[in-house]
Amino acid sequence: MMKIFPTHLIKELDAYTIEQEPIASIDLMERAAQALTESIAKRWSDKETPFVLFAGPGNNGGDALAVARLLAQRGYNNLQVVLFNPKGQLSADCQTNVDRLVRVPQVHFQVVTRQFTPPELTAEHVVVDGLFGSGLNKPLSGGFATVVRYINASRATVVSIDIPSGLMGEDNSYNDPSCIIKAHYTLSLQLPKLAFLFAENEPFVGQWELLDIDLSEEGIDELPTDWQTQEWDDVAPLLKTRSRFAHKGTFGKALLIAGSQGMAGASILAARAAMRSGLGLLKVHVPFCNNLIVQTAVPEAITLIDYSDNCFSEWEETDGLQALAIGPGLGQHKESEEALIDQISNTLCPMVVDADALNLLASHRSLLGQLPKGSILTPHPGEMDRLVGSSSNSYERLQKAIQLAQTAQVHIVLKGAYTAIIAPDGRCWFNTTGNSGMATAGSGDVLTGILLALLAQGYDTLSAARLGVYVHGLAGDVAAQKEGDIGMTALSLVDQLPTAWRMMQKMKSQI
């Protein structure tokens, strides 16, 4: 697990490290600069590489100045530094690094107070962006906005220190995209920023890398936050050990309500995923038109046939079941809408609500509060917007999802590149497995089947959501290694689930 702090708390973490280590703030800056320089030097080992480092008047600029000096010490000889100081006021540590840099003759150092003559930037140049760090609370304007646009218009490769200048660490709802650096690489100090996890910020953040600068582990542990990533070593312990004397009843009985005419595949993908995730017994409710297809494709499952030829139209009894999933390929027929309302009213076991079941619920939002205890909603961004209203960006959507989880007392799996698992108490885990090959029809159906299987096996809801999302992404990563991310299909995920579960068992044994 890696915590994600609001940017205003990162200064507190720096201050805690300075006080408790103890270490002078200028020495902590030097430690950060050494990590930055090491990362940059690994990417560009040619000492003739032309670098232009843009520094602002604060500590982010101090980092850039220190990097320039350390690169010079490593033998890089084509270094140009532009320090912007329009108010004639630098932070103390930035000023110290100015004093150190002016004694390095091989660095071409320029201080801009009023007039700025832009340096030439070609495709061969590497720009190091040290204009502003994560403390911004309003869009860049004036001369700094002009500098950002100039850099963005160039063909140079851009590396941002800690965060692209102009990007705010969390909420960019009122930001001006034209005034944000478009970095190819972002070298974040110690911890990621929440904004890195949002799709609309990818053009600014590029590839991001975390650099360990030895901030206080005690401070990180003690400082509270509701946001964190989930890694293998905190997910693997959630996996239960299977008894040698277990039988199919030990691993639960579950019901999947899925599919409609032309959408039998959704039933199959979810059912296969459930059976590949340790479930004991699965019943699949299908319209008559899909019965033979599902029986043939998933012989392990028992089918329950709807009165309707082509859609879900009648609710099912859930006595003796440990979990129910509904939604994949369901369609949005009127009779399905009525049957869904009845199903929710008559279900006591936890539910996984996905796809068209979510779309149908968007017209009956009051029913969200009537879902059984321990239920999970699995919306993608479009389905989330239909449930809670449209959002202008990912941060706003996340906040609405958190509010929904709290008011309806459900767990929400908000799907995306960094899928967010949101608990009813507002805590969020951002998943770290998965890849672009999973952006294909049916991937969500596979996740629904995995979650259904875990709930039926008696996992608590939060553990089921966290473990299921992680393994879903892990299966995708295994599939990408074997097939490449372009050629993957949702069935690729199902096929790699046994490998993913075996990997999780091995991971658990190593802890």
Q: Which CATH number belongs to the domain containing residue 177 in this structure?
A: 3.40.50.10260
Together in a domain, 309 and 352: yes
pLDDT of residue 135: 86
Q: What is the largest CA-CA distance in the chain?
A: 85
**What are the pLDDT digits (tens) for 312-339?**
999 999 999 999 999 999 999 999 999 9
pLDDT at 418 over 90: yes
The pLDDT mean for the chain works out to 97
Together in a domain, 410 and 503: yes
One-character DSSP codes across 102-162? TT-TTEEEEEESS---PPP--TT-EEEEES--TT--S---HHHHHHHHHHHHS-SEEEEES
Together in a domain, 461 and 364: yes
Q: How far apart are CA 368 and CA 390, in angstroms?
A: 18
Together in a domain, 198 and 251: no
pLDDT of residue 434: 98
**What are the pLDDT digits (tens) for 212-270?**
999 999 999 999 999 999 999 999 999 999 999 999 999 999 999 999 999 999 999 99
Place of tokens 């995708």: 476
Tell me the average pLDDT across 400-417: 98
CB 507 within 8 A of CB 236: yes
Together in a domain, 58 and 95: yes
Domain of 415, in residue numbers: 232-510
Chain centroid to CA 193? 11
Give me the percent of the chain exceeding a pLDDT of 90: 99
Apex CA 314: angle with CA 334 and CA 373, to 5°?
Answer: 95
Tell me the average pLDDT across 406-433: 98
**What are the pLDDT digits (tens) for 431-446?**
999 999 999 999 999 9
Together in a domain, 384 and 273: yes
User: If you count them, how many residues does the chain have?
Assistant: 511
Sign of CA dihedral 38, 44, 46, 51: negative
Together in a domain, 207 and 304: no
Of 210, 225, 240, the one marking the end of a domain is 225
What letter represents residue 136's amino acid? L
pTM of the model as a whole: 0.97
Together in a domain, 208 and 297: no
CATH of the domain at 415: 3.40.1190.20
pLDDT of residue 14: 96
Domain count within the chain: 2
Give me the percent of the chain exceeding a pLDDT of 70: 100
CB 185 within 8 A of CB 145: no
Question: What's the half-sphere exposure (Cβ side, CA atoms, 13 Å) at 31?
Answer: 16
Give the model's confidence band at 207: pLDDT under 50 very low, under 70 low, under 90 confident, else very high.
very high
